[in-house]
Homo-oligomer: A and B are copies of this chain.
């Protein structure tokens, strides 16, 4: 059985829990509170030198990091992971877009405004920069979703899971989505997918004692 090292409030960790729930794959959950430094202990760094969650133990002492790479692994062989060469590249296109245009801006704003709630390091011009770039990324998604049901067309894939995580958190950190009707309709379509779970969901029966 997989062991998922995850932080309940992290959008990146949520992606993996969302995929595993959709696929009906059981797993053991270990909560790692990065705000308490639990991803920076020698024990955790031995598992993932990047010091980040999510981290999936796919077999004893065999670990996989990076939320979007984990999505491809757990979804491999299912309809969530397209194998056609162009469709796969299109899904990856949106997932790399998510990691450098969406997550560093909406994810950073969410981290500081909704989780840390301020903090000395947060300066106004930094927040303004995240908001501007975050809105830029939402604008690119809006144009695309105005003509597509899901990220790569008609079907829900790992690309939607990746994009959903931080987009659905945007309003919790001061982004105004009223100007993004296609994106809001897509958020509703994703939430209506079978097996959908909210970010605060955890698989109680398999939860680790740790």
Contact = CB atoms under 8 A, between A and B. Distances in A.
Interface in A50-88: 50, 58, 62, 64-70, 72-73, 76-77, 85-86, 88
Contacts of A50: 97, 101, 140
A49 interface: yes
A31 interface: no
Interface string A79-104: 00000011011101101110111011
A168 interface: no
A77 B85 contact: yes
Contacts of A58: 86
A100 B12 CA distance: 13
Nearest to A76: B85
A134 B192 CA distance: 40
Nearest to A74: B89
A25 interface: no
A96 B97 contact: no
B92 A72 contact: yes
27 contacts: A49-B139, A49-B140, A49-B143, A49-B144, A50-B101, A64-B89, A64-B90, A64-B93, A65-B93, A66-B92, A66-B96, A66-B97, A68-B92, A69-B89, A69-B90, A70-B89, A72-B89, A72-B92, A73-B89, A76-B88, A77-B85, A95-B96, A96-B96, A96-B99, A100-B100, A100-B103, A104-B104
Interface of A: 49-50, 58, 62, 64-70, 72-73, 76-77, 85-86, 88-90, 92-93, 95-97, 99-101, 103-104, 139-140, 143-144
